[in-house]
Structures are given as structure tokens and as C-alpha cells.
Structure 1
Amino acid sequence: MDLPFIDFADPEYLSDPVRVLQRARQQSWLARTSVFELQVLSHRIAAEMMRNRMLDGPGAEIYHGQGFTPLMSKYAREGMLPLIPEPPHDRIRNVLRRGFNPRMILGQRKMMQDLAIELVDSFSASGRCDLVSDFSHHYPITVVCRLMGIPPQDIDLFNRRTTDLSLLGRFPIDPWVSRIDAALSGLYDYFRELVRQRQEEPGEDFVSAIIEAQTVEETLTEDEMFGALVNLLFAGQDTTRFQFSWLIYQLLTHPRQWERLIADPGLAQNAIEESMRHTPSQRIVLRRAVRDVEFGDVVFRTGTLIGINTLATNMDPEVFDSPEIFDIGRSNASKQQIFGGGAHACLGQVLARVEMTEALQVFAERFPKMDIAGEVHFTPSPVLLGPEQLPLRLGTSA
């Protein structure tokens, strides 16, 4: 096929990716790219793909040739749930789902609100902060650690290790292999001991819940248990850390939208959906064809790796009117595809939404006059992208 080509390292793409993707979509709903060769640009076809069981998790093979250590390969095969194909995927997911359920998460709203207030109180008197280093870097990892029953004194250790683990989102990852491997080794050792403790003395936490959730038919091996816990820690940190920073960045660079939110706090949840639609932190959802399968008059042969480009599909004008406009009142913003869909839909999406809602409401109430106070820096990854530095001048209602 004569498909458009998108180079993620091209200066034009780096400066205006939406325009490049829109131009490519005018030629075809499918593009060749410099990362994960084939990528889908159509929201409708992406939705069909995510529901179709002829497409499955891509497997750890996506990292072949990148210097993976044995431990990294083990984690990719048995811990990274978005990559794991059938049959183990559903078995692992079902156990995690019974322990990590929406009812448990919604019951922790007050804890999340109190944590957001505690972090904000630590810098509010100065009148300034860097949203990422002072808040976003700490908030989601602390929430996940508390849900897992991690002692407070160990949270900084988890923060450092998950930050190194986030380098898995860089391509190529060869320069970061030693840091990733060291982070994984430390996390596996920690969870090995934590699981042993919870088996002997269960608590009211997520680790205890998934130990209890296992059945004769659906049980996790030791390595799957450790890998799943590492993956939930990793996924619960980076995607939310970047997405909340995107949310604040977009609201403050669209001041009328920020004013709408201040005037109507009930828009908070929809503002989060619109942020995930307009500037998704997770920009590629991967699938692999397990059999020959056809979409949009294109036959994908068995084994074909397919990337769903969420920045492109979330900007599809067939679904979203004036998609380039950031509008927190958009009626169908929840159709955004950052969490994937079908059997591989993100298990932590309820947690991410609740966390960001509680944090946004705290910032809107405490700092209605805040604005950006310096240069913003972004991650250099085409897969997981967001602000790494976002200086703010805080403003109160006084």
C-alpha cells in the first residue's frame, strides 16, 4: 500500500504533531511510522480493533534486539499486562480485577483528597511550585503505595525505582537498560518479601486482596504476582503523573477554560476526559494479529504488529467536532482512547480518573488565579509523553 510515513523524530512532528497526523489521515487511516511500523489513525477502526479478539497483546517480542536482560524479559512476558497475549492475560487480569475493583478505589477518595491537600500545603506558602517535581511526581505513587500497604518510609524508594522503570517508554531503550534492570531487581525483591508478609498476616490492602482473590482455576505464579504488582505500580505512577500535568498545562494555556472550571467545579471530571482526548500521555496502544484479519479493506497477516495512535484517533474529526479545540464542556470527550478497550482495556482507569478529579478540585479551590511562570519541558518519548517541568505561580482567591 502507498501509505503516508510519519517520522516521530522529524522537527515538524515534534513542533506540531497534530497537524502532521491530520495530513497523514487525509491520505489514509493507516500510516507507516518510525516506531512500531504500522499505526492506526482512525478512531472508528481503532475501536473495532480493540474489541476484536483476533488482535491480542503484542508480547515481549516488541523489545527484542534492545539489550533486554533476563529479568526485563521476564517482566515483559509475565508482568506487563498490556503486552501479555492469551491465554495468560485473562487469567492474570481476572485475579487483579477481583482485588483491584472500583468499589475499593472509590472508597479511598478521602485519602486521595487529604494527600493532595497535604502536598499542596507543603509549597503553597512560597507562592510558587513546579507542578511535576512538587506534586505530580509524588501524588500518584503515594496513592498506589498506600493502596498496596507500603510503609510511608519506603515510598521515596518506590518513587525512584518507578521513575527509572518509566524509561521503558523510551525508544530505543538500550542506553537505559542498566537503570531499568536495577529498578526491576529492587522492586521484585521488595514485593517478594511483602507478599510473604501478607500471606502470613493479611491486611486491608491491595496486595492482600489479590492474594485472597486467587482461586483454584485462576491463580498467579510467583513471578506473575511480582510482575503484576510492579506493573500496577508503574502504570499507576507514570500515566497519571504525566496526564495530570497535561491537564493543568492545558487549562492554564486556555484561560477561559480554567475560568469555566473555577465557576463550575462540576466540570472537573469532563475536563479530565478532554485533557486525555486532546493531549493523551499514553500515545500508542499496541496489538498483534493472532490470525489473518481484515479492517477497512486491509488484511493484516498473522503476526503483524499494529499501533493505535491515540493522539491521532482522539483528534479524528469524524468523531470529534473541531477536534483541535480544547473544550472542557465537550459532550463526547469520554470517547477518548487513551485507556485502550476490549479485553485489554486499562485496569487502572478508574483509579486514574478518581485521583485526577480529587487533585484538580484541590488546585481549583486553592489557586484559582494560578498561571504558568516559566519554561515548560516535555519528555522526549513518542510513546509516553508529558511535562517534566511545569513552573507555576500560585494565586489564591484573596
Structure 2
Amino acid sequence: MTRGGRAAQLRQAAGFAATLYGGRVRGLVDVHVRRNEFARLSAVGAGDPYPIYDRIRATGPFVSTPTGHLATANHAVCKQVLRDRRFGVEPEGAPRPAPALDRSVLTRNPPDHTRLRRLIAPALSARRLAEFTGMIERTVDRLLDDVPADGPFDVMPALAGPLPVAVISELLGVSPAAGAALASYGETLGGAAAGFRSLRQARDVMVAASRMVHVFEEVIEQRRADPGDDLISALLAVEGEGDSELRAVELVPLCRMLLIAGFETTVNLLGNTVNALLDHPDQWAAVVADPALAGAAVQESLRFDAPVQRTGRVSFDDTEIAGQPIRRGQWVNVLIGGANRDPEVFRRPDDFDIARPDVFDHLAFSSGIHRCVGRPIAELEGTVALQALAQRMPRLRRAGPARMRAVPLVRGPSSLPVRA
């Protein structure tokens, strides 16, 4: 590299560092000087966000963010914004992100969103889910066979992490080794969903993104030569430039989105469910007595401690919701974790109760046209895993304190030590 090239790199790094650490300083001011509740929520880290949601909800339908946008923890308002076609997941006319960081369906408005979602829907149909049930059951049994019968183990690396990796690998048609590597890269990318925390993290994300693209490109070329009964092969079969086809440039971002979304949601759903049940021994005893209640426990966990705590929508026009003017281009932060504990919708919202009749109003998988397409398979994985734990380890208890992840958008344990 020439001296001029190194100088340009140094200037770029210096500018990035100034932006990164300047933003952190502004965040501290917003929390401790301006006492902005949304800023406090973003800075909560591994702490408990739910008292902050309560204060935000008590303020009114909306609160302002430090950057002049809006946030809401009101269930009715959240649901309205998520379902309203006047809002989207990106501003109209926004440029496409760099291919290495493109999040596909998650950042597409109709008609692209509609087209891409329709292409992947058959892979997650009821018929395909029935086919996956046996594979999920066998995977859970194999993973539980490997944990000590009478010693401590950590639920996260022993069960919650490898299960969705196995499922998404089977779905996409990648080898177990490639699936494990992709999941590792996906975890790195998912950890930066709310922004970079350091220069090192930014570097790690760029490396992970590049390596993930390389692995997917290799798998895609293998499937071009030798198609199989998997999602990548199915997507290659509809590749083209027509109005209902998949563009070649969209294939890797779509696979990456499926991997990251499928992994992040399910691993935290499993961790949060076991964590909540261990905090409520009477609820765990009910599941042990009747493993058919596992599905109800999964739904209550999704409401009580949602794996994805918030999402965002941008207004296409000047409009108004719940008396709040919203200007064109203004973002609304939809605080799913807070909406799921709105006392106007859920009785005793801070109680974990697997028998509650109002649980299905939760927004853990969003709502409207962007409702998570992978919801059925995530719920299936959680239900099968919990049934197996109840049947095989009825005396499951803690072997140490849980450690929560310090990522504001995603909530779940990084470590959950237990004893069977």
C-alpha cells in the first residue's frame, strides 16, 4: 500500500472513531443530563428495561428521542404503526445498502418485500414444518444426551445455540460445519444491530460479513451444480430478472437475513423461556406435570421477555396517530418489549403466567405485512426443546446466576448455568 493510501485509511479511521466516541459522549449527556427515557433504554445494557418501559408508557402514547424522532411502548399505538401502510421499514427512495450489510426483507418495502417474502414462504409452509418436527426432536435428544446427567451445564451453548444452527443449516442446505461458521458470523453481525460499540467491534463485523458472504457464495455455487431439497436450491430455481423472480444480487442478503433472524430469535426465545420458568418453580412444575403446556410457556415467554425488544418504522407522509403529529421521514421506535407488558391489554403484565388467556396479543414477532415469516418454526423449536427438558430433566434448577446479553435490541441470556 502506498503512503497516500495509508494516510487515507488513517483519516477514515480517525473520522469513524470521532463519530463513534462522540456519539457515546452524547449518549451519556442524554441519559445523565437531559434524562431522556429513550436514551436510558438504549443504555440499559444487560439491565432490566421494563421499569423504563413503564415510565415511557406513563408519559403518554409517544416520547421523543434525542435525535428528534419518536418512541412508543403503548400496545395499541405499536400495533397501529406496525400495521399502517403509511409506514415502512426504510424511507421511500432510500439507496440500497452495501451488499455485505444488506438485510434483505427486513429493510424492504413493498413491492420488493412482497416479492421476496412470497419466494421464501413455501420453505416455511405447514407441510415443511411437519417434515422438520422429527429432525428437531432428534436434534434436541442428541444435544441433551451430551450434557452431564448429574453435573452443571450451560443451557445456551449446550441447547439454545446449536438447535437453531442445526435447523437453519437443514433449511438452507448447508453442512453442519458451514452452518456453525455461519452462525458464529451471524452472532457477530447481530451484536452490532444497534450500532458499533468500539472500533474493534466494527472491524470484527466487517470481517464476519465478508466471511459470511464467501461461505454463502461457495454453497450457492455447489447448489447450482447439484440442486437439492433445500431453500437455496429452491431460490436458485426462481432466479431471474422478472417481476416475480429473485435477482442474483438479492440471494446472499436473503440467505444472510434468514440465518441471522432464525438464529437470534430462537436462541434467545429458548434462553428466556428456561430462565423465566426457573424463576417461577410453580410454572415449571406445571409443564413437568403436563409437557403439552410447553407451547403455552413459549407464548408467555415471548410476551414476558421478547427476544427482539424493539423495531422501527418511518412515516411516508405527514400524518397523526393518537393525537401526535408525525412528519414525513420521521421514525417511530416501536418498543415491543414495553407493549407486551401494557396493562391496558394484559392483566398483571409483570406476572409470568403460562395459563393467561390474553397471551396471543403479544407483538414479539411484530405485526402487519412485516410479521416474522419464521415465527412458526421458532415456536416449534422452542416447544419441542421445552417438552424434552420437562420429560428428561424434571428436576432442572439453577447452578448459578444467569448473565444477560448487553445488547439493547435483543434480550436473552449469554449464560444460563443449570443442573439436571
Cα offset, 1:99, TM superposition: 3.5
- What is the CA–CA distance in structure 2 between the aligned matches of 1:130 and 1:346, rounded to whole Å? 28
TM-aligned CA distance change 1:100 to 1:204, over 3 Å: same
Q: Which deviates more from structure 2 when the two are superposed, residues 141-150 or residues 86-95? A: 86-95
Note the 1:93-112 alignment, pairs <5 A: 93-112=117-136
Q: How does 1:197-216 map to 2 (within 5 A)?
A: 197-213=222-238, 216=242
Residue 327 of structure 2 is matched in structure 1 by 301
Q: 1:32, CA displacement in angstroms?
A: 2.8
Letter in 2 for 1:341: S
| 1:195 paired to 2:220 | yes
Q: Does 1:90 align with 2:122?
A: no
Structure 1 letter corresponding to 2:221: R
Which of 49, 52, 55 pairs up with 2:84? 52
Displacement, 1:132? 0.9
Equivalent position of 2:358 in the other structure: 332
Among 192, 209, 226, the residue aligned to 1:184: 209
The alpha-carbon deviation at position 290 of structure 1 amounts to 1.2
Contact in 1 for aligned 2:78/2:334 (Cα 8 Å)? yes
Query: 1:304/1:350 Cα in 2 relative to 1: closer, same or farther (>3 Å)?
Result: same
Partner residue, 2:303: 277
Cα 1:89/1:10, change in 2 over 3 Å: closer
Contact 1:99–1:210 (CA under 8 A) maintained in structure 2: no
Structure 1 position 378, deviation (Å) = 0.9
Tell me if 1:367 matches 2:399: no
Cα drift, residue 7 of structure 1: 3.0
User: Structure 1 35/14 Cα, relative in aligned 2: closer, same or farther at 3 Å?
Assistant: farther
**Where does residue 67 of structure 1 map in the other structure?**
none
Is the alpha carbon distance of 1:123 and 1:13 closer, same or farther for their aligned partners in structure 2, counting shifts above 3 Å? closer
Equivalents in 2 of 1:335, 1:190: separation in Å?
39
Code of the aligned partner of 2:82: M
CA–CA distance in structure 2, aligned partners of residues 203 and 261 of structure 1: 39
- Would the aligned equivalents of 1:167 and 1:173 in 2 still touch at CA under 8 Å? no
Deviation at 1:59, TM superposition (A): 5.8
Which whole-Å CA distance do the structure 2 matches of 1:263 and 1:188 have between them?
46
CA offsets per residue over residues 256-281 of structure 1, 9 Å max, x none?
Answer: 01011111222111110100100011
Matches within 5 A, 1:236-315: 236-315=262-341
Q: Tell me the equivalent position of 1:17.
A: 49
Equivalent-residue separation in structure 2 for 1:339 and 1:75 (angstroms):
25
Q: Is the alpha carbon distance of 1:188 and 1:22 closer, same or farther for their aligned partners in structure 2, counting shifts above 3 Å?
A: same
- Other-structure match for 1:40: 72
Residue identity matched to 2:386: L
User: For 1:328 and 1:254, how far apart are their aligned partners in 2?
Assistant: 10
CA distance in 2, matches of 1:301, 1:368: 54
Contact 1:243-1:386 at 8 Å conserved across structures:
yes
| Offset, 1:12 | 8.0
> What SS does structure 2 have at the residue aligned with 1:385?
coil
Aligned-partner Cα distance in 1 for 2:40–2:313:
20
Is 1:388 paired with 2:414? yes
Residue 79 (structure 1) shift? 3.1
Cα gap change, 1:108/1:11 in structure 2, threshold over 3 Å: closer, same or farther? closer
Question: Which secondary structure does the structure 2 equivalent of 1:6 belong to?
Answer: helix
> Relative to 1, partners in 2 of residues 1:331 and 1:366: Cα closer, same or farther, differing over 3 Å?
same
**Larger Cα-atom Rg:** 2
Identical pairs, percent:
26
CA–CA distance in structure 2, aligned partners of residues 155 and 4 of structure 1: 41
Match in the other structure for 1:354:
380
Q: Tell me, what secondary structure is at the counterpart of 1:150?
A: coil
Per-residue deviation at 1:87? 3.3
Corresponding letter in the other structure for 1:209: A
Could you tell me which runs of 5 or more consecutive residues in structure 2 were left unpaired when the two chains were aligned.
1-34
Q: Matches of 1:334 and 1:35 in 2, distance apart?
A: 33
Which residue, 153, 159, 164 being the options, matches 2:183?
A: 159
**Counterpart-to-counterpart distance in 2, 1:140 and 1:31:** 36
Secondary structure of the corresponding residue to residue 106 of structure 2: coil
Alignment check: 8 A CA contact 1:95 1:214 kept: no
- Which stretch of structure 1 is more off in the superposition, 104-113 or 148-157? 148-157
For 1:228, the equivalent position in structure 2 comes to 254
**Where does the alignment leave 5 or more consecutive residues of structure 1 unmatched?**
65-69
CA deviation string 1:320-366 (max 9, x = no partner): 01101000011121211011111111111111001111111111111
How far off is 1:202 after superposition?
A: 1.6
Range with bigger deviation, 105-114 or 319-328: 105-114
Amino acid at match of 2:318: D
1:232 deviates by 0.3
Deviations 1:14-72 (A, max 9, x none): 6542222223312202123469942111111111111111101136999x9xxxxx9x7
